Structure 1
């Protein structure tokens, strides 16, 4: 059973969400404004938030940023009537893990909830600690290090990095990434994958540039029409996968 916070001002939608999630075994807290939702998030641990972007008191994107500051590990799924791509990207860049546009099918929403609550077993992807250049990925400890400094990643960002590290230097399809990091029965758009990859690149790049001279880490290449590849640093720089 997961604790799910619903922040939705429309009574009909809120009632349907609360009933469906409760019927699926979740502990549901429904709040109608951004301020009430943030108070609930600060009062106890939340596993997942369903967040309407069109709230009456606070812009949903700002609520998302505040939620991630209050509970960095919680999953935030945006519910939005905004179909403009830039609005969706802004929400994802603010820390949301996924989005659904209204109107949505309840079966699709419940599938997304199950997918996000399913934590990828990244220890299955990499048999030990992965090192390449100055980067170290330790799936067992869920730690990403550049030199001796920890890089803070969102859960799905870490899972993506670990999954790519398992096949460093090899192409990994979008379908494989979605199956392994999200869910085999994923519904709808995979735009969330692209935004998470972009965010992961940004975090790694910012971390490398914080050193003088800059650190050396593998790049993530986009393979159009297929997926992504973690470009392992050449062996002369010490790339390896060490057994436990």
Structure 2
């Protein structure tokens, strides 16, 4: 799941980015409205977190602008404004839920899950990915193969989700670093190779046909047939 967080307070940025990444989200961080618009124009997001007190514009104005740009993803408003009028205005102007600061991380994560479930069309397969006998439940953050649940770490799940979304296509290490880790680590690191090795040990086991293939010097591909 890809998430855009629009928040200008550095401490909250750092805390939430780490917590959300550990929870399995791929997180982009925008410190103001202009950066958020640029992100929204070039990426598709499953959900957004928007603070109302941004340095360059009001968060409500930003939400309205994002809706005009065609962003349909649910928006969780995060704000220190606690009055009923502020909450009602936020919900009426395009927000899908409203959480006041200070907040409990467990509640924020629960609200995100509920928004994702609420906005998934009934009977839609958008919340699940399938490649051969491999299935990912994006809401439960659960992967299984041939009906057997795979014990994946949050980062392994995000990596496998990216491979599934690109099944049959070769993805390079640089592409994986960008989409899974947000290029927050050095490009010459072996973190991708290490995670692929561990992931393959969990996905391709018990004599099952290998799904994850390495193209030496090029990248990796999740075989879709």
Partners of 1:60 and 1:123 in 2: how far apart? 30
Q: Does 1:12 align with 2:7?
A: no
Consecutive unaligned residues of structure 1, counting only runs of 5 or more, are 125-138, 140-244
1:26 maps to 25
Partners of 1:17 and 1:102 in 2: how far apart? 13
2:53 maps to 54
Partners of 2:34 and 2:93 in 1: how far apart? 17
Partners of 1:40 and 1:121 in 2: how far apart? 22
- The alignment of Structure 1 onto Structure 2 pairs a total of residues equal to 125
**Structural mapping, 1:66-145, within 5 Å:** 66-119=65-118, 123=122
**How many Å apart are 1:72 and its aligned residue?**
3.8
Partners of 1:8 and 1:120 in 2: how far apart? 23
Partners of 1:122 and 1:5 in 2: how far apart? 21
Partners of 1:121 and 1:42 in 2: how far apart? 22
**How many Å apart are 1:121 and its aligned residue?**
6.8
**How many Å apart are 1:71 and its aligned residue?**
3.3
SS of aligned partner of 1:107: helix
TM-score, normalising length from structure 1? 0.48
**How many Å apart are 1:41 and its aligned residue?**
0.8
Partners of 2:6 and 2:118 in 1: how far apart? 23
Consecutive unaligned residues of structure 2, counting only runs of 5 or more, are 125-225
Answer yes or no: is the 8 Å Cα contact 1:41–1:71 preserved in 2: no
**How many Å apart are 1:123 and its aligned residue?**
4.5
> 1:122 and 1:100, CA in 2 relative to 1: closer, same or farther beyond 3 A?
same
Partners of 2:53 and 2:71 in 1: how far apart? 22
